[in-house]
Amino acid sequence: MKTRLLIAIPALLAVVALAGALAPGPTPAAAQDASTADADTVTVTGVGTVESVPDEANFSFGVDSRGRTAQAAIAANAAAMDKVIAALRQAGSRDIATQWVSVYAVTDENGNVTGYLASNSVSATIGIQRAGALIDAAANAGANQISGPGMSSSDADRLYREALADAVADARQRAEVLARAAGRSLGGISSLTEVGAQAIPFYAEAAKDAAAASTPVVPGQQETSAMVSVTFSLR
């Protein structure tokens, strides 16, 4: 009995090993279907643009003041900037904010200190129609550094959302062309990513109703753009 048991066990192991060797593995077709499932998509980039005429202008107004001492320069500068800020408010500007304040020594060619220069600059925003009048008011009040305008639209968020929707529609059109060219049809969206946006001035055509002021400011056209990356499945 013990002898027969020892012989039967190796025979059983041999049968199991043979069965494992003959068991069918994954077919080439099944492996191909698994890899194709992940790659059976098309990814495109869509761009949307919306044109508008900016209705806001942002400027920087600064004052430089000299003094024999740093304290004298700062005091003179503060008094001068108070007049400029009052003029900006009187002209109807908003969002007035200090950008920088500085004071430094002025030296001659030999390095000797001859005095001090204090500077102060503020930013201010106003409707585009009154931008020219704001420049004149600041200059008349003593501003001796003026830069701008930075053009923007008060409804920038709405414009961007429109451009974003156009970008998705553009991506779908591009994907449909690619799908047809490949003899396929377009399925649903499997991935959607917002890439970026920017507002670009476009001066080819000036607005006809520019403000009639001593300092003319013409807004022109501004283009708000949005970009998306979209992955569609293919059928």
What CATH number did the domain enclosing 215 receive? 3.30.110.170
Is the pLDDT assigned to residue 193 strictly greater than 90?
Answer: yes
- pTM (two decimals): 0.61
| Predicted local confidence at residue 45, as pLDDT | 95
**Would you state the structure tokens that stand for residue 95, as one six-digit string?**
């969002």
Q: What is the DSSP string of 111-148?
A: S-EEEEEEEEEEEEEEEGGGHHHHHHHHHHTT--EEEE
Residue 138 shares a structural domain with residue 163: no
Banded pLDDT at 199 (limits 50, 70, 90): low
The total number of structural domains in the chain stands at: 2
Q: How far is residue 127's CA from residue 58's CA, in Å, rounded to a whole number?
A: 9
Domain of residue 75 covers 56-152
| Predicted local confidence at residue 17, as pLDDT | 38
Among candidate residues 121, 152, 183, the one where a domain is terminated = 152
Residue 62 has phi, psi (to 5 degrees) of -130, 160
Among candidate residues 117, 152, 187, the one where a domain is terminated = 152
Residue 144 has phi, psi (to 5 degrees) of -115, 10
Nearest to 129 by CA among 37, 55, 26: 55
* H-helix segments, the chain: 2-22, 28-39, 70-90, 131-140, 156-181
> What is the mean predicted confidence (pLDDT) over 117-122?
96
Residue 119 shares a structural domain with residue 207: no
Residue 168 shares a structural domain with residue 221: yes
Residue 177 shares a structural domain with residue 136: no
Among candidate residues 152, 175, 204, the one where a domain is terminated = 152
CA atoms within 13 A on the CB side of 10: 4
Residue 89 has phi, psi (to 5 degrees) of -70, -40
Residue 61 shares a structural domain with residue 147: yes
Model confidence over 61-76: pLDDT tens digits? 999 999 999 999 999 9
Which one-letter amino acid corresponds to residue 227?
M
In a domain, 211, yes or no: yes
> What is the mean predicted confidence (pLDDT) over 116-135?
95
In a domain, 181, yes or no: yes
- Exposure of 190 by Cβ count < 10 A (0-12 exposed, 13-18 middle, 19+ buried)? exposed
In a domain, 47, yes or no: yes
Model confidence over 108-119: pLDDT tens digits? 999 999 999 999
Model confidence over 27-62: pLDDT tens digits? 443 333 444 444 699 999 999 999 988 999 999 999
Residue 143 shares a structural domain with residue 61: yes
Banded pLDDT at 222 (limits 50, 70, 90): confident
In a domain, 6, yes or no: no
